[in-house]
Structure 1
Amino acid sequence: MAFQKLGLDCANWPEPVYSDLLRKGAADEEKMLGLYFNQIGWPSSLPTNEKGSFVKSVLREKKNAINEFLMSKSLPLRSGVQEFIDNASTEKVPVAIVTSYCKSGDKVALSVVELLGQERLSNVKVIGDSEVEQSMYGQLVFGKGVSSSLEEQLVKEVKKAASAERQRIAEEVASMLKLSVDIDTSSSERLEKIVVALRAAAEYVGLPVKNCVLVAGSQSGVSAAKMIGMPCVVMRSSLTARGEFPSAKGVMDGFGGADLTIPKLRHKIKS
Structure 2
Amino acid sequence: MFFFRVLIDAYRLGNRQAFNVAFQKLGLDCANWTQPIYQDLVRKSDGDEERMLVLFFNRIGWPTSLPTSEKGAFVKSLLREKKNAFDEFLASKSSLLRPGVEDFIDDATTKGIPVVILTAYGKSVEKIARSIIDKLGHERISKLKIVGNEEVEKSLYGQLMNHKGILSGTNEELAKEAMKAASAQKQKIAEEVASMLKLSVSLDSSSSESLQKTVAALRAGAEYAGVPVNDCVLIAGSQSGVAGAAQIGMPCVVLRSSSTSRTQFPSAKATLDGFGGPDLTISKLLQKLWC
Q: Which moved more, 1:97-106 or 1:199-208?
A: 97-106
Structure 2 CA distance for partners of 1:68 and 1:159, relative to 1, 3 Å: same
**1:110 corresponding residue in structure 2:** 130
Q: Which of 225, 231, 245 is matched with 1:225 structurally?
A: 245
| CA displacement at 1:119 relative to structure 2 | 0.8
- The structure 2 residue matched to 1:197, chosen from 196, 205, 217, is 217
**Post-superposition offset of 1:18:** 3.0
Aligned to 1:238: 258
1:23-38 to 2 correspondence within 5 Å?
Answer: 23=47, 25=48, 31-32=50-51, 35-36=54-55
Structure 1 residues 36 and 108, CA, compared in 2 at 3 Å: closer, same or farther? farther
1:256-267 matches, within 5 Å, as: 256-267=276-287
Compared CA separation, residues 50 and 77, structure 1 to 2 (3 A) = same
Mark the CA change 1:248 to 1:46 in structure 2 (over 3 Å): closer, same or farther: same
Paired residues of 1:100 and 1:127 also in contact (CA < 8 A): yes
Aligned to 1:167: 190
Alignment of 1:182-193 (within 5 A): 182=201, 185=204, 186-193=206-213
Match status 1:89 vs 2:109 = yes
Instruction: Indicate the structure whose relative CO is greater, using CA pairs within 8 Å and at least 6 residues apart.
Output: 2
Please, which of 149, 173, 186 is the counterpart of residue 150 of structure 1? Answer: 173
Contact conserved, 2:187 with 2:202, CA < 8 A, in 1?
no
The question of 1:21 aligning with 2:41 is answered no
Instruction: Note the alpha carbon deviations across 1:200-231, whole angstroms, 9 max, x for none.
Output: 00000000001100111112211211111111
Residue 151 of structure 1 and its aligned partner are, at CA, apart by 6.4
SS in 2 for 1:97: strand
Paired residues of 2:234 and 2:251 also in contact (CA < 8 A): yes
Picking from 128, 133, 157, the partner of 2:153 is: 133
Alpha-carbon offset, residue 20 of structure 1: 4.3
**TM-score if structure 2 supplies the norm length?**
0.79
Unaligned runs of 5+ in 2: 1-20
Distance in 1 (alpha carbons) for counterparts of 2:44 and 2:108:
36
The farther-off stretch of 11-20 and 244-253 is: 11-20
Q: Which moved more, 1:196-205 or 1:35-44?
A: 35-44
CA offset at residue 99 of structure 1?
1.6
Q: How many aligned positions are there?
A: 262
Amino acid at match of 1:77: L
Does residue 39 of structure 2 align to residue 10 of structure 1? no
Rounded to whole Å, the distance in 1 between the matches of 2:174 and 2:43 is: 43
Q: Is the 8 A contact 1:202 1:208 kept in 2?
A: yes
TM-aligned CA deviation for residue 37 of structure 1: 6.3
> Given the superposition, is the C-alpha separation of residues 36 and 125 from structure 1 closer, same or farther in structure 2, using an over 3 Å criterion?
farther
Q: Which stretch has the larger CA shift, 43-52 or 233-242?
A: 43-52
Query: More deviation in 125-134 or 180-189?
Result: 180-189
In structure 1, stretches of 5+ residues that fail to align are none
2:63 to 3, 20, 43: 43
Maintained 8 Å contact 1:170/1:183? no
Selected match of 1:70 from 74, 90, 101: 90
Report the residue type matching 2:183 in the other structure.
K
Cα distance, 1:167 vs structure 2: 2.3
Structure 1 residue corresponding to 2:77, chosen from 57, 68, 93: 57
Aligned-partner Cα distance in 1 for 2:64–2:200 = 38
Quote the RMSD (CA, aligned, Å).
2.7
